[in-house]
A and B are shown apart, each in its own frame.
Chain A
């Protein structure tokens, strides 16, 4: 049981390039989330999904896109990367109950230069 797996662990991106951060979970969770965390700051919700085919914006969605074609996978796409997107990105998942804890991946550290 791997839990939530994120790839890559680290990446350096040039300004204007695009890339996809991968997230997959093997717990059959309906809910999945993408957060970003800037140095010394708390987590900000980028996008979330309540099930396959359903996604919605969080607090800071600009510059990102997501898709949820399967229950397991929730990739985050960065289009036209900017230095402001330098951050650590965390994917999380949970059951669709208010007493269900979130399970987090180990994060992707992204630098845009």
Chain B
């Protein structure tokens, strides 16, 4: 059973471009969480999704950021018109439907905005 997969592992974007980060949860997991880790800081919760539903987006910036978890395919975190302050490591985690405590983390995508 493959673990949580994220791609790309490293992403470089210029200011104003769009960044798309993908997260494939573990098999059988229907819950996905996205976190952002800024340099020198801990993980900060962004959004919690189930298939085709956003459960909690209290940590998402109001503008430019969006997330989806379609019925088929990976979860996508989308950042439009990136700025330098978006440079960070973005982690996703997945959990099975019956045990929300068990979050398994992906290796992260390190976004650099130049």
Tell whether A and B belong to one assembly. Answer: no
Q: Measuring CB to CB, which residues of chain A are less than 8 angstroms from any residue of chain B?
A: none
